[in-house]
Amino acid sequence: MSPRVDEQELRRRAIEGVRDEVEAFGSGAADSIVFRREGLIASVVPAAPRRSLFNGVFYTDPVALAGEVDSLEALYESHGVRAWTVWVPDSDRESARLLAARGHALDAEPRAMAMELADLGAGPPAPAGIDPGPIGADACAELNDLAYGYGADGFRAGLAGETSIRWHGAFDGVAPAGCVGAIDTGEDCCVTGVATPPEHRGRGIASWLLWRALADARERGLATASLQATRAGAPLYERLGFRDLGFIEMWELRR
């Protein structure tokens, strides 16, 4: 039996999962780039210039962030990006103050959540008329745009290409009805891109499909799963066994 993962390590994995999302977001369109410096990574997605979700910065070293913030602002401006965000853990108030002083505004506070896959219980029943199946990145991008009310400059612009994300699909006949993305990093599975379009909500598709993705990760030898949850999404994840481990702020600069 694998040793238990303590809460501090679960929190670290939950926060560092953002790095994997940033890298994926910077790899999903032909003109996107991933900017790397010691202690910092940023995605630049000119195809979605007003979507800070795709144009994001993750750092492990606050000193590195402070030293690169001028370069980051120039980088985004040079690529026509009008909105970008920095992911700031709740423990780093100094970086939050630095960004606020430079004109960034607190845009969101998603919860950092994680779980040990050994604790994954029995799966929920399959929704009536829904079957699992392979699904492409382009279909998942469209599902996410439908689920979150984005237009053509959303996921379809920034994340329709092949990335490190392993996609799981749910289908109502031949029509895509939901998707879940997973990024493998070491022993952790970072969950991303969970989407159910409005016409399929209330059928239990998201929890069923996410459970399948987590079970698949466990079968492949991963020990934990992590994600960033909105206020609305957190109860779904808690029911599957995810633990709330604090929050990570999104400090956005919009021009």
Residue 150 has pLDDT above 80, yes or no: yes
Residue 138 has pLDDT above 90, yes or no: yes
% of the chain with per-residue pLDDT over 90:
95
Q: Which residues contact 175 (CB under 8 A, 6 or more apart)?
A: none
- How far is residue 39's CA from residue 58's CA, in Å, rounded to a whole number? 9
Q: How confident is the model at residue 231 (pLDDT cuts 50, 70, 90)?
A: confident
Q: 103-118, pLDDT tens digit by residue?
A: 999 999 999 999 999 9
Average pLDDT over all residues of the chain:
96
CATH 3.40.630.30 segments of the chain = 114-246
Q: 31-69, pLDDT tens digit by residue?
A: 999 999 999 999 999 999 999 999 999 999 999 999 999
- Pairing verdict, β 188-195 and 224-229: parallel
Q: What pLDDT does 3 receive? A: 72
Q: How confident is the model at residue 92 (pLDDT cuts 50, 70, 90)?
A: very high
Q: What pLDDT does 4 receive? A: 87
SS (H, E, C) the chain: CCCCCCHHHHHHHHHHHHHHHHHHHCCCCCCCEEEEECCEEEEECCCCCCCCCCCEEEECCHHHHHHHHHHHHHHHHHCCCCEEEEEEECCCHHHHHHHHHCCCEEEECCEEEEEEHHHCCCCCCCCCCEEEECCCHHHHHHHHHHHHCCCCCCHHHHCCCCCCCEEEEEEECCEEEEEEEEEEECCEEEEEEEECCHHHCCCCHHHHHHHHHHHHHHHCCCCEEEEEECCCCHHHHHHHCCEEEEEEEEEEEEC
Q: Do the Cβ atoms of 123 and 145 come closer than 8 Å?
A: no
Which CATH architecture is the domain 114-246 placed in? Answer: 3-Layer(aba) Sandwich (3.40)
- Pairing verdict, β 83-89 and 56-59: parallel
pTM, two decimals, is: 0.95
